[in-house]
Amino acid sequence: MNTIKSLPFLAVFILFSCKKEDKDTTFKIYHLKPNRVYESTDTVGVYGWFSKRRSDFFVVKNYDINNEQHKIKIDSFIVNYISKDSFLIANKNVNWHLTFFKYGDGIDEHTTNQNDTDYTIHNLFSYKKEIGSVYFDTRTGYSVSNYNVTPEKLNQTKREIISNYFATLNLDLDVREAFTDHLTAVSKNQDTIKVLAKLIKQRGANKVQTSDYLVLKTLQGKVSNDTINVAYYNYKAPEKLEGNTILTLLEFDIVLGVKDHYYFPAYNGTLGSKSIKQKE
């Protein structure tokens, strides 16, 4: 008899046990630690690079790419985040990227920011998973926010919430005129240089890396020294070739007194270097 009376309670218990847990639809932003900071010491005056370059990474849960209010929430988060950090105020000649990724597909609030990972090409932090990013520096101030319209297309603009806050900082912007002039100047006509060279050292950097080469023979054009430095995008790095290599180069025309500095056409080392099996 007791067993019969308990059947309705058992049925209710089973019903609630089988009910799926409601999905959490709360909009949340998580900071992925640690931050990434690069410091330059001997290249600032020569190449015009920033003394410090910082990148912070975040993941956003329940983000809707078509919801403008979600973008506004991220804008407000950015203002609150930078207001509590003295990086831009306490340092000169620095830049700061804040990048936001979509929650899921391997990225959650517990994911570690890997300092030695190139987030533009890494599978886990693929650019296709980016929601957007914001950029600041102490030369030009707040430059732009990039919100993805689709994984392949960005909408670049300054956001009102961030612009209004950044104007209150009254930063003493340190614009390097020579470097800025170079960036805005009309490109010069440059003859192609070809050399037979041997790799001495590869140097790590953020987006543009460089390598030192010993010039064994000049095949076309003219180089100023036997040891040269060649720049290329990190995701178009030349292969680590043994032996001699033919390099196709352009002269770096930045107006900061750079010597013995060249770059692969389009900064593409995979197209600008060719291994040879025998000496020429």
Q: What would the 3-class secondary structure string for 66-88 be?
A: CCHHHHHHHHHHHHHHHHCCCHH
Q: Are residues 41 and 88 in the same domain?
A: yes
Which stretches of the chain score pLDDT less than 70?
1-22, 42-48, 115-121, 174-190, 204-207, 240-241, 252-259, 277-280
Q: Are residues 158 and 223 in the same domain?
A: no
Alpha-carbon gap, residue 200 to 222, rounded angstroms:
20
Q: Are residues 128 and 203 in the same domain?
A: no
Strands 153-157 and 141-150 turn out to be antiparallel
Using the 3D structure, point to which of 121, 141, 175 is the last residue of a domain: 175
Q: What is the pLDDT of residues 227-253, one digit of tens each?
A: 998 888 877 888 766 778 999 998 865
Q: Are residues 153 and 236 in the same domain?
A: no
Model pLDDT, residue 120: 59
Would 181 be classed as within a structural domain?
no
Q: Are residues 42 and 158 in the same domain?
A: yes
Domain count, the chain: 2
**Which are the contacts of 212, defined by CB distance < 8 A and separation ≥ 6?**
199, 200, 201, 202, 203, 227, 228, 229, 230
Model pLDDT, residue 156: 83
Would 232 be classed as within a structural domain?
yes
Considering only CA atoms, which of 137, 176, 175 is closest in space to residue 46? 176
Residues of the domain holding 211: 193-275
Q: Specify whether the CB–CB gap between 194 and 247 falls below 8 A.
A: yes
Would 131 be classed as within a structural domain?
yes
Q: Are residues 150 and 222 in the same domain?
A: no
Would 270 be classed as within a structural domain?
yes
Q: What is the pLDDT of residues 57-80, one digit of tens each?
A: 999 999 999 999 999 999 999 999
Alpha-carbon gap, residue 187 to 126, rounded angstroms:
32
Would 13 be classed as within a structural domain?
no
Model pLDDT, residue 206: 54
Q: Are residues 164 and 265 in the same domain?
A: no
CB hemisphere CA count around 80 (13 angstroms) = 8
Using the 3D structure, point to which of 175, 209, 239 is the last residue of a domain: 175
Does pTM top 0.85 for this prediction?
A: no
